[in-house]
Structure 1
Amino acid sequence: MARVKDDYRSLTGPQKAAIFMLSLNEEQSAAIFEKMDDEEIRELSMTMASLGTINSTVIERLFVEFADQLSSAGSLVGSYESTERLLSKALGTDRVNQIMEEIRGPAGRTMWDKLGNVNEAVLANYLKNEYPQTVSVVLSKIRPDHASAVLSLLPEHFAMEVIQRMLRMEAVQKDVLDHVEKTLRTEFMTNLARTARQDSHEMMANIFNSLDRNTETRFMGALEERNRESAERIKQLMFTFDDLTRVDSGGIQMLLRQVEKSQLAVALKGGSDDVKDLFFDNMSERAGKILREDMDALGAVRLKDVDEAQGEIVSIAKQLADAGEIVIAGQGEDDELVY
């Protein structure tokens, strides 16, 4: 939540307009929204959603400025939810969804401003599936430093094709630019905004995954007493070291090439028999013998060290899954879970 706005003099014009709209009832604000064009609605909505708490004295000063003797006894909270509720009174569902998805996405007034705030790896992953000509247009419209970072992450052959197109590029026709912008808005930005809205149980599962075993057990036990349904859902979303049994042989071999053998030895000391067998079955007889000797040589290992080693290997597995290098199968026969 943004900090409390208590200095009226520091407010910008859009912020004043946003506070004014939030202070009106839904019917009044709907009538005003109907008079605005899409760009005005988009800019005002972004400001409303990021206001946070507004001090009542600021609201009084604002209404004095508008020559209306009104005041507020409490405070207003500008949020995505209140903004969406107000927009739904004046606009159709599809239009509201589009606007909300855009303001939940990267910051920026124009599409190119927004792209400049998208992580270069995320943008490169999307652009590598587009036509080189399209990519050259996009890279020509964003900041040079951001374009260079994206370009360096593209496959080399594809990147060289994009560079050649950029070198031969002349002035881009407006209809071509409009088409590229529309595609980015409807496909990339919409999906990016939806992805950003992480489920609360998924968020807690990721947090629980990072806890040490004792703390996780303690918190999970307490949660089960208060909300068994949420506890069960979090357990289903969590991915632990023993869940690596859901990775096929090819994936385990890929993981073995990425993991330090000393780290694996510590991790397997606390692993289940199934996960131990899985790793040993995917190693050569000689490598397996060396790993067993290393594990024996370790002797007793602190649980904290085991948890840390297992956590590092799970993190590597998730990164490989995100990159499409390995597949982590779901619990159902035909399910696949991608983390």
Structure 2
Amino acid sequence: MATTSVTKTQKAAVLMMLFGEKAAADILRNLAPREVQHLGSAMYQVNDIDNDTLDEIIEEFLIALRKESGIGLGAPGYIQNIMTEALGDDKAQSVLSRINPMDTNKPIEILDWMDARAIAELIADEHPQIMALVIACLDYGLAAEVLGLLPDELQGDLVHRIAALNTVQPEPLKDLEQVMQRKFKQSSTMRASQIGGVKAAARILNFTRSDMEQRILGNLRKEDKTLMQSIEDNMFVFDNLIKSDDRSMQTLMRSVEAELLVLALKGADEELQAKLLSCMSTRAAANIRDEMEAMGPVRLTEVQEAQKQIVAVARRMADEGTIVLAGRGGEQMV
């Protein structure tokens, strides 16, 4: 088995098997729930790796390790410690929540380890505001799954409530704890937490299927067109394609009409143009460049519409599992 046919997750799984039980367990403790699930699944898949492939994986790992500098090791803990020492606990947490929002404490982190259906059943009879709080606390992919299991008529309202959330003070979180404590042990801290907001609502919708997303956005448009636009502006857009892997983009490029791609790339920056054209044959890329130069100036609205059409194709293919879009679900990369 050549290393080109082994995914990054499977390579990580091979290394985990080599590290030994204690070291592997220590690594797993520092991963997010979804990462643990994907890596654990991959560990079952790599029991037939041949020696040559194994050697290549180890060599690749050692080369990458040598390139790493030590400056980032332990940085989050170090930064938190010096901030707390300099500013005190409350001020430090306030600063950290602004400069590193992903580092804030999640009040119901244990839910990330629960099955989506179990969470949906857990909150099904609660007030919509409590449901929104719970969903906003989840990993975005899991949140989208839970949202999809709830009644259609509730989904738009819940996304609206999630988008309206921002900083949630300790008192509402304490109430939430009391509602949920019959099901799991709570370990949140009594300080303000960053939960929800427009970006969170957008990222949750990024993980939903296109038809569900359009239905929810349609409902939001009727209630609050400005909020709907803000959410839509923060969702997956054409420029995000640069973050996806080359294999997925090669598949996407074969599914997009050349005329549409020419128009879409007219409004893209050089880095994105180079990325997408590199995922095509040399001849096809040259033809696209020639047509772009021959086209001359075009209306921005035409470019934006072409880009939206390509994004729609990409998202449909991602829903079908044909490609993986970075930030829209699919396989977690480690």
- Tell me the TM-score normalized by structure 2: 0.34
Return the structure number with greater relative CO, CA threshold 8 A, min gap 6.
2
Q: Computing the radius of gyration over CA atoms, which structure comes out larger, 1 or 2?
A: 1
- Tell me the TM-score normalized by structure 1: 0.34
